[in-house]
Amino acid sequence: MATRMIPLFPGIRRAPDRVSDSRLAPALRPGPSARPRELGATRLAVPTGLHTGLGCDAVGVPARFGFKILSRLPAKGCVYADADWWWWLVPAGSDHDLSWPMPGCYAPGAEIPDRRPRLIHHPDGTSPYTPPIPLYLLVCQLTGTAPSWTVRQVGSTL
């Protein structure tokens, strides 16, 4: 039998009564282990032998976009992944005059939430970087966002 919600005021709904904790199975009862694990931060480690003279930032996207982006990029640097996110190393400052679209995430210093990411793609050359402009355009395309960057006014003395 379905329970019907009766609004108290227009636009406001009352939440159904919660089941008492004593009626829940022991494994489902809230307790210290029921709290979500607080995530710390970790810095993505660049494999030895790769040159990071430009500094390192990271661009993350939800895992559902990972394979699509990886397969479409013309050049690929280091790519890290965990269960929920994929991260690409880009040169530091790759967010200058760019707005990376949601749900993407730009991480200065390649410092990301610690979900134990692992390296899933090692570049062929000595550069750990993925070119940021092709990556930006792919993220925009997959998220349905029009690319946008700030254009500075250039004066002319003619």
- Predicted TM-score (pTM) of the model is 0.71
For the stretch 89-102, pLDDT in tens is 999 999 988 889 99
pLDDT at 149: 77
d(CA 124, CA 127): 8
Q: Write the single-letter amino acid at 99.
A: S
pLDDT at residue 140 in the model? 95
- CA–CA separation, 92 and 109 (whole Å): 7
Position with higher pLDDT, 154 vs 87: 87
